[in-house]
Amino acid sequence: MLLLALETSCDETSAAVIRDGAVLASVVSSQIKLHAEYGGVVPELAAREHLRNFLPVTQAALHEAHVTAAQLDAVAATQGPGLPTALLVGFKAGQAIAYALRKPFVGINHHEAHLYSPWIAGNPPRAEFERFEPNVSLIVSGGHTMLVQVESELKHRVLGGTIDDAAGECFDKAGKLMGLPYPAGPIIDRLAEQGNSKAFDFPRPLLNDANDDFSFSGLKTSIRYFLRDHPTLLENEQSLCDLCASVQSAIVEVLVKKTMRAAKRLGVKCITASGGVSCNRSLRTELAKACDRQRFTLRLADKSLCTDNAAMIGILAERKLRAEQNASAYDDEIIPGWQLA
Ligand code: KG4
Ligand code: ZN
């Protein structure tokens, strides 16, 4: 089966070509630079940029995969959740391509696709579903932070999520308070490497609560008060690195401990992680150490697949088509608020 997948839910325009579980091409055009000067994603600009990028990105993916549109057996696109006008671009274009070719179209839940991105590996990348194990999956990005139990392929249950800010949002807002450019997550990751994570003590929200939920807005507030009380701290480069390391360690400790605790409680022995924040080196190292101690399997999405991409959309869509699930109608609508159950 040869499938074209499209992803335009937020600020990445992406197209991928999938054949029988293998990613033949995955092209991602990021809009980070466009939104940086506004300190966050501006929906209207994102949609216009998707419109501009959609054709070149899709053509590049088909070209890279050495296939033509006429050879496609199916088309898939992200249906939700996401920014409405951004989603519309990829979803409606995908439906139009499928309709023109008289081939099946599949609308995919973006978060459900994240659950399977850690199973895409190798060079060239392919879905390693033959190695699939029931797992607890941490999806951690700028817009979302959630824990999901994946009991078997295509069967999952949301355990918990953030009740306010997402972890990536906390990284970005903390960075803004420190005067760092958007998105601050990767910069904090880099500066933290030279810092002492025990220099300053920040709260670990909901760490000891008996649930699988997260909360990061209080942490952001405590950083604001901390900087108010230490007005000259940022003038010293080492103090900035210490602050980055201390903030990062608070976020990472909560993410790792709550993920591990959920898995132990459920008797699950495999952890997976995806989403932009799962690029964070400290998070990757701490998850690896924790899984090592418990003798759990750890599958982290490849860094190129942590952030939003159409490859994960296509891999899930192909799986769904093979399971004869969910071929959508050509006139289905986007679902901007589509939450995983
Ligand atoms: O998945 P993603 O590209 O987009 C969505 O949010 O949908 O994730 C972007 C988020 C941003 O908040 C960014 O700061 C964060 O992921 N991020 C990181 C790192 N790389 C990206 N946060 C911490 N450490 C990183 N290395
Ligand atoms: Zn995402």
Please state, for a pLDDT cut of 90, what percent of the chain lies above it. Answer: 95
pLDDT-derived band at 302 (thresholds 50, 70, 90) equals very high
Is residue 333 situated within a structural domain?
A: no
**pLDDT tens digits, residue range 216-234?**
999 999 999 999 999 999 9
**172 and 271 belong to one structural domain:** yes
d(CA 111, ligand 2 centre) in Å: 7
- Pair (144, 280) in one structural domain: yes
Quick one: which of 295, 292, 290, 281 has its CA closest to 257?
290
Whether the predicted pLDDT of 284 surpasses 90: yes
Give residue 171 CA to ligand 1 midpoint distance, Å: 8
On whether the pTM is more than 0.85, the answer is yes
In the predicted structure, residue 325 carries a pLDDT above the cut 80: no
Give the domain range for residue 14.
2-125+308-322
Residues 85 and 161 reside in one and the same domain: no
Is the pLDDT confidence value at 194 over 80? yes
**Residue 341 belongs to a domain:** no
Residue 334 belongs to some domain of the structure: no
Average pLDDT over residues 67-92: 98
How many alpha carbons lie under 13 Å from residue 31 in its C-beta half-sphere? 29
- Please say if the pLDDT value at position 327 is more than 80: no
Whether residue 147 sits in one domain with residue 116: no
Same domain, 87 and 229: no
- Judge if 105 and 168 occupy the same domain: no
- Both tokens of 201, joined, read 């003590």
- For residue 181, what are the contacts with CB-CB under 8 A and spacing of at least 6? 36, 175, 187
**Does a structural domain hold residue 288?**
yes
Q: Report the alpha-carbon distance of residue 327 to residue 98 in Å, rounded.
A: 11
Residue nearest to atom 22 of ligand 1 (CA): 185
| Mean pLDDT, residues 176-196 taken together | 97
Ligand nearest to the CA of 83: 1
The answer to whether residues 101 and 16 belong to one domain is: yes
DSSP 286-308: HHHHHHHHHT-EEEEPPHHHHS-
For 102-130, the pLDDT digits (tens) are 999 999 999 999 999 999 999 989 999 99
Confidence of residue 39 (pLDDT cuts 50, 70, 90): confident
User: Looking at the domain assignment, is residue 17 inside a domain?
Assistant: yes
Mean pLDDT of 5-23: 97
For ligand 2, a single-atom ion, the residues with CB < 5 A are 141, 308
The pLDDT of residue 164 is above 90: yes
Residue 140 lies in a domain: yes
- Is residue 331 one of the residues assigned to a domain? no
pLDDT band at 66 (very low <50, low <70, confident <90, very high): very high
Residue 186 has pLDDT above 80, yes or no: yes
Instruction: Report the range of poorest mean pLDDT among 31-40, 45-54, 135-144, 193-202.
Output: 31-40
Whether residue 329 is contained in a domain is answered as no
In this predicted structure, what is the pLDDT of residue 35? 92
Of ligand 1's atoms, which has the minimum distance to the CA of residue 183? 14
Residue pair 187/175 in contact (Cβ under 8 Å)? The answer is yes
The reply to whether 11 and 96 lie within a common domain is: yes
Determine the pLDDT at residue 328.
82
**Which whole-number Å values give the CA distances from 85 to 88, 130, 178, in the listed order?**
5, 37, 32
Give pLDDT, residue 21.
97
Q: Specify the higher pLDDT residue, 128 or 327.
A: 128
Same domain for 28 and 166, yes or no, is no
Q: How far apart are the first and last CA of the chain?
A: 29
Which residue stretches of 65-121 are H helix? Answer: 84-101, 110-116
* Same structural domain, 215 and 291: yes
- Going 67 to 71 to 73 to 75, the CA torsion angle's sign is positive
Tokens standing for residue 70: 């006429």
Give pLDDT, residue 201. Answer: 96
Q: What is the CATH number of the domain that holds 66?
A: 3.30.420.40
Q: Which residues line ligand 1 (CB under 6 A)?
A: 10, 141-143, 168, 171-172, 183-186, 189, 275-277, 279-280, 307-308
* CB-count exposure of residue 237 (10 Å: 0-12, 13-18, 19+): exposed
Using DSSP, state whether 268 is helix, strand or coil. coil
β pairing state of 297-300 and 126-127: unpaired
Q: Are residues 189 and 291 in the same domain?
A: yes
Q: Do 148 and 107 reside in the same domain of the chain?
A: no
The total of structural domains in the chain comes to 2
Q: Examine the pLDDT at 15 and tell me if it is beyond 80.
A: yes
Work out the mean pLDDT of the chain and round it to a whole number: 96
